[in-house]
Chains A and B, each alone.
Chain A
Amino acid sequence: MAEQKRGKFPGGFRFNIEDRVLLLSVVLIILVIFFGAIEDRFLTGSSIRSMAFQCPEIGLMGLGMAIAMMIDGINLSINDTANLSALIAGLSIVKLAPFFAGHEFLSIVIVFLVAIATGAACGALNGLLAGYIGAPPILATLATLTLYRGISVVITGGKTLTGFPKELSIIGHQVVMGIPIPFVIFLIVGILMYFVLEYTTFGFKVRMSGTNPTAAKFSGIDNRSIAMKVYILSGILGAIAGIIVMSRTNSVAYEYGTRTYILLTLLISVLGGTSPGFGNVVGVILATFILQVLSTGFHMLLLGVRGSSFFKDFSWGVLFIAILIIDHFMRREKSI
């Protein structure tokens, strides 16, 4: 009966992706105004630039997490995929350096290709386990998380890898027309992802497979191959993030980000409005900005205060819970 009503009155309140983008935009604007009003240094060029340098890596991993969540999966190994991809790329650049003397730019291209191939391979293993073997994605990617971290520790002996050609650091330190290169990469990848998810048959099948895999199967969609492609894509997004981290910090370590990044990518993905069968690149990008603003804002506000770095975690936690509660009420509104 109730369903009939809604069918007849499509103008009634419906919580959809557009509402989410609007909600996130409002939250972002409020936060920017709030921090800008009480902290002079917040809205300066250098502060904005530093935020734009910092957020792409987590945003890219957030996109990788989001696409996995769109098929009702998850990619817990994404941060370790990023680290392992960067490590293998870093090792190859160091080993190959003698052969590329004078051709450093070529070596950068090689770094990119090696990292992306590694990320794709890591993703393929996830896809094999979650898609073809049928392991629950949360267990499969938790297992590969440990595996990839283990490999990273073994090949580096647990040490941080440094000493890359200076050309590599361009990506993480230079700007194009005033915009930091990592941010340019983030935007380009975001636009590509948006296009892939909204306008291609692959994106369509991802959404259908995520909404109802059984119906998808009966409609001729090969869920396993979709899962494989999604996890490979997720791995590649991780690898791009890994390259940015490597270039920005001029180093690679097996433990980079392992303390908080997985939770952050989950937070970004959920905050961005991702759910099985549904997802929105714009939402994920806005969510990334919100987290970065919170993190930078509180960092400035509480500079010198004891325990200030914990306040960042605290604010993310509060935000996550607030979003869960808002979602709950919006969904209730929808079902009445």
Chain B
Amino acid sequence: MNEELLRVEHISKYFAGVRALDDVSFNINRGEVRGLVGENGSGKSTMIKIIAGVYEPDKGDIYINGNHYKRLTPIISIREGIQVIYQDFSLFPNLTVAENIGINRVISKGGRVVNWKEVYESAKEGLSRVGADIPLDAITGELPTADRQIIAIARALLEDARLIIMDEPTTALTQLEIQHLFKTINDLKKRGISILFVSHKLNEVKEISDSILIFRDGKKVLDQEAEELDIKTMEYYMTGRQIDTSSIAYSEPEEAPPLLKVENLTLRPCFSNVSFELKSREVLGITGLLGSGRTELALSLFGELPAESGEIWLEGKKVFIKRVQDAMEQEIGYVPEDRIKEGLFLEQSISNNLVVTIIDWLASKMGIIRNQTKLKTAEEWVSKLEIKTPSVENPANSLSGGNQQRVVLAKWLAGNPKILILNGPTVGVDVGSKAAIHELIRNLAKQGMGIILISDDIPELMQTCNRILLMRDGRIVKEFRREETNEEELHRHLVAAKN
């Protein structure tokens, strides 16, 4: 069983004189699940790309199946049985499942006419190797994320993968889907296929991996059996500092009439008869699986998907929120789920991103922007949220994930909203930034803001919220007080919410 599949020795890689990887060595055995963790910029992605043959290492040796290489190309890497499943799965959303899985093999055989029978047979074979049953004629883009992931794995297996590298595979998955993925990984493992599981989520890495590699600043700082590690130690090695979760100072909700009162809000088929209250200085968690209506509820409060019936009361006054501008007028902010697509203007400067929601205030009555005020405001937020950038005039895409998320947060904080709705604020964010964002959320609440936090990251909910509402099939089915519950109970209810 302990037969070696891949070994890298003394790998170093420089980009324009900057060290991305520094003398990194490790190996992966057959049938082993290796966890790889590290903050953004730690060298994880560079290592993946070297193994996949995308980058050439500047120094070091690679051994796969006993063959020695100084560098790989994508073709060699695939021939040696290495398959990478990137975060977006690299599927064609407009094609059917069969086409996505089966077409590679048919194309690689050459020939100008597509043999559809063969495409379907290949696809069927691929899916059976994962042990999954997905309709072959379904359009891939219309399937749930978890199914798309299975499709990507099936495609990798058809290429006779011996090592599957999964880059942040659980980012878009719900708890239940993650459990399915782990089951699939364990099946693959039994069949002698190795997995390199790359993720930010330490508890998941610990759960699934046999052994764990931790990178920091391009160096391998830890290589140990998963059983011997605990999350705190992993966090310490990853960030180089201890993150203390035991002495969190939560905000205490104000004993006053609620800031926001929602009554029987309904938008069929997404959610119906949703009622809740939010107090000033309160962090209210809303959790549920994908499709439970949690995102639609948030969008409804923000005016993007106006509810068809029900009432919204703000500080005792009934309000009508029919469009985003209405919500903004009522001082409601929304930090969207997908920061790249919905939150950021990637090619625009950081300063433009920071002032976008308040540009009308920064301008004169005639709509003329005062550039000095704009820059000053942007710089204030950069320093307030410790956004790491040499200049506010750099484009937003020059920032790392955690810093980008801070920009999205700052953009809403700049408007000083009374209510801030955060939808998955730390998805894909490294541990250090995550802790900072949690701290920020608690502090904002302490300053009087009412915060709605939508998340299925249970530790996150436990570390920030005063109350947590559980949604299932568009309804709020249960309410938890943080003091009276724990991670295990929440987890159980969340996963059970599927059926």
CB closest chain-B residue, reference A211: B345
Q: A214 and B348: CB pair below 8 A?
A: no
**With A and B bound together, what is the CA distance between A5 and B388 in angstroms?**
13
Q: A220 and B398: CB pair below 8 A?
A: no
Q: A3 and B400: CB pair below 8 A?
A: yes
Known: A3-B400, A4-B400. A200 touches B347 (CB 8 A): no
Q: B368 and A218: CB pair below 8 A?
A: no
Neighbour of B18 across the interface among A5, A10, A215, CB < 8 A? A5
Q: A219 and B16: CB pair below 8 A?
A: no
Q: B367 and A201: CB pair below 8 A?
A: yes
Q: B360 and A207: CB pair below 8 A?
A: no
- Residue with the greatest number of chain B CB neighbours at <10 A, chosen from A4, A8, A214, A220: A220
Q: Does A112 sit within 8 A of B, measured CB to CB?
A: no
CB closest chain-A residue, reference B41: A4
Number of A-B contacts (CB under 8 A): 100
**With A and B bound together, what is the CA distance between A3 and B389 in angstroms?**
12
**With A and B bound together, what is the CA distance between A219 and B358 in angstroms?**
9
**Chain B residues near A6 (CB, 8 Å)?**
398
Q: Within residues 95 to 151 of chain B, which ones have a CB less than 8 A from any CB in chain A? A: none
Q: Does B334 sit within 8 A of A, measured CB to CB?
A: yes
Q: Does B399 sit within 8 A of A, measured CB to CB?
A: yes
**With A and B bound together, what is the CA distance between A207 and B347 in angstroms?**
10
**Chain A residues near B342 (CB, 8 Å)?**
214-215, 218
Q: B357 and A211: CB pair below 8 A?
A: no
Neighbour of B345 across the interface among A9, A212, A222, CB < 8 A? A212
Neighbour of B398 across the interface among A10, A202, A205, A214, CB < 8 A? A10
Q: B41 and A1: CB pair below 8 A?
A: yes
CB closest chain-B residue, reference A205: B359
**With A and B bound together, what is the CA distance between A1 and B13 in angstroms?**
11
Neighbour of A215 across the interface among B41, B43, B344, B400, CB < 8 A? B344
Q: A218 and B336: CB pair below 8 A?
A: yes
CB closest chain-A residue, reference B16: A5
**Chain A residues near B400 (CB, 8 Å)?**
3-4, 7
17 inter-chain pairs at a CB distance below 8 angstroms, sorted by A residue, are: A4-B40, A7-B399, A8-B18, A12-B16, A200-B367, A200-B368, A201-B367, A207-B348, A208-B356, A211-B345, A212-B341, A217-B304, A217-B324, A218-B336, A219-B356, A219-B357, A220-B328
Seen from chain B, the residues whose Cβ lies within 8 Å of a Cβ on chain A are 15-16, 18, 20, 40-41, 43, 45-46, 302, 304, 324-325, 328, 334, 336, 341-348, 352, 356-357, 359-360, 363, 366-369, 371, 388-391, 394, 397-400, 411
Closest 10 CB pairs of A and B: A7-B398, A4-B41, A211-B345, A201-B367, A219-B356, A220-B328, A1-B46, A201-B363, A200-B367, A1-B45
